[in-house]
């Protein structure tokens, strides 16, 4: 604690940072909890012949947040893999990623660094249909790239190491960057993949569409079943809740520590004022007593010897040399409790 009982700058920064982190974690926890509650309350809809009737009876022919499970089926054309034969899909993502080592001047270590140098995503319209296409019901999936958990399968992956000459190696050590190579990846959402879609279900003319909800809830296209997806979100909620509680306890501990320090400082100040008042009253009694002129210069500790020391830096003259030597370490002035840095002898002529 600084003078006056105020927290030091470091303590104030720790308290402010801990409070800010706790608030941020609590905000994330509330958002995750809201998503989990919304997902738990989503309406489960079956992909059967009654789906159209359900939407006709719904307000605005819309279910604001619905869960639907089906199999991916292309509407017109399918996308073919560039590297794998007979691999068809409706979403294709091609990625070129650079891998290199970068010298960290602080830790003096080589760290892995990855950077996407090119990425292209191709899509084609597709539907979700029942696993056994008997009812002829299909749901058109809108804006699949906006989904929170779009399940893409890696169908091709190859690493192309960089070829380096001796001169290149020397140059890399001087520049602090050592290229490792280029990784080529192809991901696809294959035709026939089982998906769980969570979003807004709407009947538009004769087409049933699954699209991002308008209420701020997340849009899902996941290969997990609904129960697994819900458990995953609940696990995320528990994780952020535990983090919030831990940092909340840490914030309370820091605050308790600072308040305790301030309370102890306040008690010390009260004790100091009480001692000063007792010294003042003792001096008044000495001044009013018989022989007060003689005892006026008496040591405030032993009240028998004459004051013979000037305490610096406070400047008080209140003790004899013997009582000064008897003061406990670190030596402090009996009047103001300030640390004694130097003692000057007092000579009375």
Instruction: For the beta carbon of residue 145, count every other beta carbon within 10 angstroms.
Output: 10
Mean pLDDT of 209-231: 89
Determine the distance from the C-alpha atom of residue 343 to the mean position of all C-alpha atoms in its chain, rounded to a whole number: 54
Mean pLDDT of 259-265: 87
Confidence band (pLDDT; 50, 70, 90) for 295? low
Confidence band (pLDDT; 50, 70, 90) for 125? very high
Mean pLDDT of 115-137: 84
Contact 41, 65 (CB under 8 A): yes
What is the structure's pLDDT at 173? 80
Nearest to 208 by CA among 38, 53, 40: 53
What is the structure's pLDDT at 215? 76
Confidence band (pLDDT; 50, 70, 90) for 135? low
- Checking if the pLDDT of 288 tops 80, the result is no
Confidence band (pLDDT; 50, 70, 90) for 233? very high
- Checking if the pLDDT of 126 tops 80, the result is yes
Confidence band (pLDDT; 50, 70, 90) for 294? low
DSSP string, 13-67: HHHHHHHHHHHHHHHHHHHHHHHHHHHHTPEE--SSTTHHHHHHHSGGGEEEEEE
Nearest to 193 by CA among 44, 61, 69, 68: 69
What is the structure's pLDDT at 200? 92
Confidence band (pLDDT; 50, 70, 90) for 157? very high
Confidence band (pLDDT; 50, 70, 90) for 313? confident
Contact 301, 328 (CB under 8 A): no
DSSP string, 96-153: EEEEEEEEETTTTEEEEEEEEEEEEEEE--EEEE-SS--S---EEEP-GGG-TT---E
What is the structure's pLDDT at 221? 92
Q: Retrieve residue 8's tokens.
A: 């030091």
What is the structure's pLDDT at 279? 76
Sequence ranges of the domains in the chain:
8-41+225-297, 44-224, 309-345
Mean pLDDT of 168-172: 81
Mean pLDDT of 271-286: 78
Average per-residue pLDDT for the chain: 86
- Start-to-end CA distance of the chain, whole Å, equals 44
Express each pLDDT in 318-332 by its tens digit: 888 888 888 888 888
Cα distance between residue 118 and residue 241, in whole Å: 38
Cα distance between residue 65 and residue 52, in whole Å: 16
- Checking if the pLDDT of 53 tops 80, the result is yes
Percent of the residues in the chain that have a pLDDT greater than 90, as a whole number: 35
Please name the helix (run of DSSP H) or strand (run of DSSP E) that holds residue 288, with its range, or none. Answer: helix 226-288
Mean pLDDT of 9-23: 89
- Checking if the pLDDT of 291 tops 80, the result is no
- Checking if the pLDDT of 340 tops 80, the result is yes
- Checking if the pLDDT of 95 tops 90, the result is yes
> Which residue in the block uniquely carries the two structure tokens 């308790």?
256
What is the structure's pLDDT at 204? 85
Mean pLDDT of 246-261: 91
Q: Is the dihedral of CA 225, 230, 232, 233 positive or negative?
A: positive
What is the structure's pLDDT at 261? 86
Cα distance between residue 300 and residue 322, in whole Å: 12
Express each pLDDT in 28-39 by its tens digit: 999 999 989 988
């Amino acid at each position: 604690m600084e003078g006056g009982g105020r927290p030091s700058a470091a303590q104030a920064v720790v308290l402010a940072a801990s409070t800010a982190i706790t608030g941020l974690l609590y905000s994330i926890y509330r958002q995750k909890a809201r998503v989990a509650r919304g997902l738990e309350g989503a309406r489960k809809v079956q992909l059967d012949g009654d789906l159209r009737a359900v939407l006709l009876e719904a307000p605005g022919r819309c279910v604001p947040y619905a869960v639907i499970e089906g199999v991916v089926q292309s509407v017109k054309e399918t996308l073919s893999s560039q590297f794998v034969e007979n691999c068809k899909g409706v979403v294709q993502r091609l990625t070129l990623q650079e891998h290199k080592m970068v010298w960290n001047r602080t830790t003096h270590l080589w760290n892995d660094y990855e950077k996407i140098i090119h990425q292209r995503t191709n899509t084609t319209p597709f539907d979700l249909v029942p696993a056994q296409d008997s009812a002829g019901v299909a749901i058109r999936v809108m804006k699949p790239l906006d989904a929170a958990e779009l399940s893409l399968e890696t169908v091709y992956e190859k690493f192309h190491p960089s070829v380096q000459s001796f001169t290149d190696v020397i140059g890399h050590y001087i520049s602090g960057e050592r290229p490792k190579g280029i990784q080529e990846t192809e991901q696809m959402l294959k035709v026939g993949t089982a998906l769980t879609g969570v979003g807004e279900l709407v009947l538009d003319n004769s087409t049933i569409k699954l699209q991002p909800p308008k209420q701020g809830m997340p849009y899902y296209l996941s290969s997990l079943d609904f129960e697994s997806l819900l458990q995953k979100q609940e696990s995320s909620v528990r994780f952020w809740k535990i983090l919030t509680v831990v940092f909340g306890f840490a914030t309370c501990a820091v605050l308790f520590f600072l308040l305790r320090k301030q309370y102890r400082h306040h008690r010390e100040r009260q004790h100091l004022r009480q001692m000063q008042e007792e010294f003042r009253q003792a001096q008044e009694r000495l001044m009013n007593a018989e022989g007060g002129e003689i005892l006026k210069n008496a040591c405030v500790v032993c009240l028998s010897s004459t004051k013979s020391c000037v305490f610096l830096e406070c400047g008080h003259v209140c003790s004899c040399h013997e009582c000064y030597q008897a003061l406990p370490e670190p030596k402090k002035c009996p009047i103001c409790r300030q640390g004694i840095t130097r003692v000057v002898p007092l000579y009375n002529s």
